[in-house]
Amino acid sequence: MLKKDKVKFIIKKLDEFYPEVNPPLDHKNNYTLLIAVLLSANSTDKSVNKVTPNLFKIANTPRKMLQIPYEELYQIIKPCGLGPAKASNILSLSKMLNENHNGKVPDNFEELEELPGVGHKTASVVMSQAFGLPAFAVDTHVHRCMYRWGLSSGKNVVQTEKDAKRLFPKERWSKLHLQIIFYGREYCPAKNFNPNDCPITTVVGRRSLFK
């Protein structure tokens, strides 16, 4: 099957499985979205969503966040893992937002990626979900599915993002990112994966997966 045919099939199936998708991380505004995505690194959305209601009740702006002592912040976000680094980054980026951006989350990759703890994937999610701008955030689920479907080499997430942007229509990037994440969790997991149980991989997947 040609890649263009794979892409058409994948979009069709994902629209069947997930016609409507909503961001999985609970948030109140652009700032809390940024914090939630930062917390989700090496964690699960479920763990983050358990922590953030209490956190955002106390602090839903950079100024309010800076009023929380480091140790208190660490204890709140500890269940998400990597607590010391995340607490430090949250306070540092909140200070930068206050001092350099009038307390607002910037709407461009360059300034977002200058913030402590904010990598390209986090910036992509914010650009897409906060500002509605075309972005294709590649997490482990997207990276894994793109490889198994024969759409990318699997070398690294940078290459996977390039391949995804080249193959999929730009106007679909933001929705597809979420659809693939949901699909990867439900049908194309990292562990105990059986390609015959994956409706998309069964049709377009790498033949080596079936050996």
Q: Assess whether 35 and 113 both reside in one domain.
A: yes
Under DSSP, the state recorded for 191 is S
Q: Assess whether 206 and 173 both reside in one domain.
A: yes
User: Is the pLDDT assigned to residue 11 strictly greater than 90?
Assistant: yes
* Residues near 60 by beta carbon (within 8 Å), at least 6 away in sequence: 28, 29, 31, 32
Positions annotated as catalytic residues are 121, 139
Sign of CA dihedral 56, 58, 64, 68: negative
The C-alpha atoms of residue 138 and residue 152 are separated, in whole angstroms, by 12
Q: Assess whether 16 and 59 both reside in one domain.
A: no
pLDDT for 107-120, tens place per residue?
A: 999 999 999 999 99
Q: Assess whether 41 and 54 both reside in one domain.
A: yes
Identify the domain containing residue 9 by its residue range: 3-21+136-210
Q: Are 30 and 105 in contact (CB under 8 A)?
A: yes
User: Is the pLDDT assigned to residue 211 strictly greater than 90?
Assistant: no
* Total number of domains constituting the chain: 2
CA 186 and chain centroid, separation = 16
| pTM metric for this prediction | 0.94
